[in-house]
Amino acid sequence: MRHVVAKSIVGVAVALLPLSAAAQAYPDKPIRVIVPVPAGGTPDVVARMVAPGLSSLLGQQLVIDNRGGAGALIGTELAARAVPDGYTLLFSSPGGLTILPHLHKKIPYDPLRDFAPISLVCIGPFLLLTHPAVPVRSVKDLIALARAEPGKLNYASAGNGTPNHLAMESFKSMAGINITHVPYKGAPQAVTDLIGGSVELMFNSIPPALPHIRSGRLKLLAVASARRAAQLPDVPTVGEAGVPGFEAITWFGFVAPARTPKQIIARLNELVVKVVRAPELKSQFEILGYEAVGGSPGEFAAFIRAESEKYAKAVKLSGAKVD
């Protein structure tokens, strides 16, 4: 019996050797980072801010692979089905992991079971933006206009089920207004059409909006965070400006396919946190209105669960649907 047990232990140890060796050698080739939005979208911008530092510490290139469409579903599903060897990662924002599961009756992956969280990277608020020709100067003006002309105003989003889609649906519900959703295949085209006047308003994150606000091509009405943004101290929050309790933020983080070796997850976590919390990148995030976070895989897993519960309630409250 003792001989059989010893033989079994040796067998298990031998079976684990390739995995351990692979983890110790990791990475020995470039790593693909799937970003489930088109190039130029905020998740893409943030991913490319983090990639150089992480590439340097890993000693391998991070190859950004933009797979936009279906509100992040396409890229997120692709990552869920990838080989769990640490050479395919997903750089996620709320859409694919915490919003889509509550908008669709069924999605082709389980956001909690099919991914191994690595680390939250940063969080930041949305901005409520309009085309300059829209005759409003405040959130209260916008609400009054929307109530006077129900359904006439059009708002853009980065696609069905994306964070800015759900943010506006929540805003509609809380403000008691009726405006029409125009979904795009990504935020860059939505912003282009907002600047061009094809749509009247949208929620979008700070980085891609700031240059257009400063140039006068977009009008900023409010910041959708609980408190004012440090970069925009004179701009009121949506809550201050007429919709008490409203908040819409976005976040970004790295996850890997489930069953990725724990040693690899631990190594990636250590390096992501080091990069994110480095003074230089922290200051770059702050300039763009984001707060650098970092943290353990367990903390990020708990954050994802909490966000999912929050969006489940928001979807139910707003009646948002994939249209």
pLDDT digits (tens, 9 = 90+) for 188-235: 899 999 999 999 999 998 888 989 999 999 999 999 998 898 889 999
What is the DSSP-derived secondary structure letter of residue 236?
A: P
| CA atoms in the 13 A half-sphere facing the CB of 272 | 28
Name the average pLDDT for the chain. Answer: 90
Residue 12 has pLDDT above 80, yes or no: no
Q: 313 falls in which pLDDT band (50, 70, 90)?
A: confident
Residue 27 has pLDDT above 60, yes or no: yes
Q: Is the bond preceding 150 in cis, omega lying within 30 degrees of 0?
A: no
Q: What pLDDT score does 23 carry? A: 59
Give the residues across from 64 on adjacent strands.
Answer: 33
CA distances from 21 to 45, 121, 129, 252, 261 (A): 34, 28, 52, 31, 11
Question: How many whole angstroms separate alpha carbon 312 and alpha carbon 167?
Answer: 13
What is the DSSP-derived secondary structure letter of residue 198?
A: S
Q: Which residue has the higher pLDDT, 104 or 279?
A: 279
What is the DSSP-derived secondary structure letter of residue 273?
A: H
Q: Is the pTM of this model over 0.75?
A: yes
Q: What angle do CA 161, 104, 290 make, to 5 degrees?
A: 30
Residue 132 has pLDDT above 80, yes or no: yes
Mean pLDDT within 91-106: 92
Question: How many whole angstroms separate alpha carbon 311 and alpha carbon 71?
Answer: 15
- For residue 89, give the nearest of 307, 308, 269, 315 by alpha carbon: 269
Work out the number of other CB atoms within 10 angstroms of the CB of residue 150: 11
Q: What pLDDT score does 321 carry? A: 67
Mean pLDDT within 298-310: 95
Q: What pLDDT score does 310 carry? A: 86
Work out the number of other CB atoms within 10 angstroms of the CB of residue 59: 8
Residue 13 has pLDDT above 70, yes or no: no
Q: Which residue has the higher pLDDT, 315 or 4?
A: 315
> Which range, of 4-8, 51-55, 285-289, 291-295, averages the lowest pLDDT?
4-8
Structural domains present in the chain: 26-123+251-318 (3.40.190.150), 125-241 (3.40.190.10)
Residue 287 has pLDDT above 60, yes or no: yes
Residue 152 has pLDDT above 50, yes or no: yes
Q: Which residue has the higher pLDDT, 160 or 50?
A: 50
As a whole number of Å, the CA-based R_g of the chain is: 22
Q: What pLDDT score does 323 carry? A: 54
> Which range, of 27-36, 245-254, 296-305, averages the lowest pLDDT?
245-254
Q: What is the percentage of the chain residues whose pLDDT exceeds 70?
A: 91
